[in-house]
Chain A
Amino acid sequence: MAHIELKNVSKSYGTGKDRVEILKNINLKIEEGEFVAIVGFSGSGKTTLIKMLAGLEFPDEGEVLYKGEPITGPSHERGLIFQNYSLLPWLNVRSNVGMAVKERFKDWSKDKLKKRVEDYVGMVGLSHAINKLPKALSGGMRQRVSVTRALSMSPDVILMDEPLSALDALTRGTLQDEILSIWGKDKRTALLITNDVDEGIYMADRIIPLRPGPKATLGPVFDVNIDRPRDKTALNSDDNFKKLRNSITAYLIKIGEERAKDITKEYHLPELKPILKSKLFQGTRV
């Protein structure tokens, strides 16, 4: 039995005329302990896909299974790293992470909880900023807090929605290794959404492209047959790696061009509805 399974999953937003089918007939099996990366274009439905696995959204058709059971809601077993960090702006780093740890390990003593929070914040190199509010952190720092908040709950499945996109190459590398070591430790399952093919190859066992929407489907699976632990510098001169990267890139370019053709052929623009972030906090102050 697969650890995670999507069976003929379709998902749409909106109703009536505004209804848009985002995902169509998605089939995916992830075995326990596997590390799968999904690459795809912006707006194709990657976040929608991972939200269904987290239990924040539900499919219109088909089934999303965790250990063979349909997912009915979020659970501590599946940790999600949000694409937009989603830190609580009124809590400092310690409390943002602490809140997650406390929820997860309800019977732990105060000292034990405190130590875990400090360990995990230290792991992403933010010990010096542990008492700061999110607004005092850079984008990359916030992303690291968001990563460590999810990891500190030691979920069985780590769901990552472009978790490292705002980081510089150096921090990115460190965090990639950090995630890999946590994943490898207790044989967890991981799903990584990324826009960086190299990152996918470095981290994952399989890479699956998500074709552009609407009605996005998964493309062919690219297996990464490179032994672990992988070495970044050695990887760059590895023939296997180069070949794999070339074929994935070629595939992405091909579907990208097809999409461009589709757009020119039909020549109708989608009704754009910008998703505006709540204006409340800048809102009416008298």
Chain B
Amino acid sequence: MKDKIINVLRFIGLGFFEPAVRLAAGEDVKKNLTALFQKVFFPIISIFLFMILWNVGAKKLYNVEKDFKIESARASKGEAGVTAELARIESGESTVNSLPAPKAVWSAFKNLLADHKAISVKKKAFKERVAKTNEKREAQGLAAITYTGRPSFVDQIKTSLWTVFCGFILALLLAVPIGMLLGLSETLRSSVNWLIQIFKPVSPVVWFLLVYMIVKTLTLSYDGDVSFIISFIAVGLCAMWATLVNTTLGVSSVDNDFINVAKVLNLSVGQKVFKIVLPSAFPLIFTGLRITVSVAWMVLIAIELLSQSPGLGTFVWEEFQNGANDSNAKIIAAMFVIGIIGFMLDRIMFSIQKLVTFTEQ
């Protein structure tokens, strides 16, 4: 039981909980207690410190902005202006839009979830309401009526994840086969090297614009969700380079010993590629894919923001434009959600990587 839990934790890259499990099983108390302190206790302390620092900093910034407002009120309207301004700030009429404190972010987060629940209820009700009509419409060969209300925060997350997934698949399908071809042929490699070197450092924004130019023209007569297509293609193109370069490197630098084995066994070209070259390049390919996923998630926000395709990027941008009292808190809440999802995606890739690659020795 204990070993099983530890193995699972290790596998998903959460090995730092290991001492806690061992301790719970009453194993080597002193050693595991030290490890626990090192791996769990100190990180928790550092989280606390971070929170305190954040809180203090946020208060300071809040006061700076508040004082400025009051002083400018004093300058224009005298003492009466100060009292009025204070009352306005109190009532939320005049917003002090500074860095929100942890507490505000937490309540904004809870609000977002509550909002999600409310919207889900609405959606369900809507569905029930139009169920009959939709049946009829379907019989007549018409498209079903769908809910067109505002998406909730959780819906935005789902959309973003879907965009990243599509972008990642696109990157995979482009980068791995092309990388293999480049890795196998030195001529090909040196002839397109300039292309890779030039396109690799191009910023996500420019990628987006490039994809926009092309896709917009190609989809002139298409009335589906073009902005989604543009954003996932842009995400894929931005993120594929790590995989492309790593696949090329992995395939082109297979250990000479393995090549000799293939020769001595007289393997056919196909066998050589799929049984020797590809497996030996797997560790590098997967490292590339892992980077690709993190890059995809990172550039997603910017690209969604530009493409106006729904998702976390749009959410953040709309909140920023909105400028309501809790907008900043919502943005920070979204930031943490983005970070945590990015971390989880990386853990997932890490586990898959471990599953499919071998380690020498």
Contacts and interface: CB of A to CB of B under 8 A. Distances in A.
B167 interface: no
A15 to B, nearest CB: 18
Contact of A283 (B257, B261, B276, B284): B284
Contacts of B191: none
A74 interface: yes
Interface stretch (B124-132, B170-178, B195-203, B263-271): B263-271
B291 A80 contact: no
B284 A86 contact: no
B280 A90 contact: yes
B359 interface: yes
Nearest to B261: A86
Given A82-B261, A280-B284, A88 B291 contact: no
B265 A99 contact: yes
A221 interface: no
A280 B359 CA distance: 10
Contacts of A80: 264
B151 interface: no
Contacts of B291: 286
Contacts of A73: 263
B100 interface: no
Interface residues of A, number: 31
A74 B276 CA distance: 17
Given A56-B263, A56-B264, A135-B360, A82 B284 contact: no
A91 B279 CA distance: 9
A90 B266 contact: no
Nearest to A57: B260
Nearest to A150: B264
Nearest to A79: B264
Interface in A21-47: none
A75 B282 CA distance: 28
A277 interface: yes
Chain B's interface size range is 20 to 34
Contacts of A277: 255
Interface string A247-286: 0000000000000000000000000000001101111111
B263 A74 contact: yes
Interface in B169-219: none
B258 interface: yes
Contacts of B313: none
B266 A76 contact: yes
Contacts of B253: 278, 280
B330 interface: no
A148 to B, nearest CB: 14
A231 interface: no
A84 interface: yes
Contacts of A186: none
A281 B359 contact: yes
Nearest to B294: A286
B275 interface: yes
Contact of A285 (B258, B263, B276, B287): B287
B290 interface: yes
Contacts of A133: 358
Nearest to B250: A280
Interface string A65-86: 0000000011110011010101
B311 interface: no
B282 A90 contact: yes
Contacts of B46: none
B250 A135 contact: no
Interface centre among B257, B264, B276, B361 (most CB of A within 10 A): B264
B258 A86 contact: yes
A91 B263 CA distance: 17
Nearest to A153: B265
Contact of A280 (B271, B283, B290): B283
Nearest to B275: A99
A99 B268 CA distance: 12
A89 interface: yes
Contacts of B258: 86, 88
A79 B263 CA distance: 11
Contact of A88 (B256, B263, B276): B276
A74 B262 CA distance: 10
B13 to A, nearest CB: 12
Contacts of B266: 74-76, 103
Contacts of A100: 265
Contact of A86 (B257, B267, B282): B257
B264 A88 contact: no
A54 interface: yes
Nearest to B271: A103
Interface in B44-79: none
A286 B261 contact: no
B361 A135 contact: yes
B275 A278 contact: no
A103 B267 contact: yes
17 contacts: A55-B263, A75-B266, A80-B264, A82-B260, A86-B257, A88-B275, A88-B279, A88-B280, A89-B359, A99-B275, A135-B359, A278-B255, A278-B256, A280-B283, A281-B283, A283-B283, A284-B284
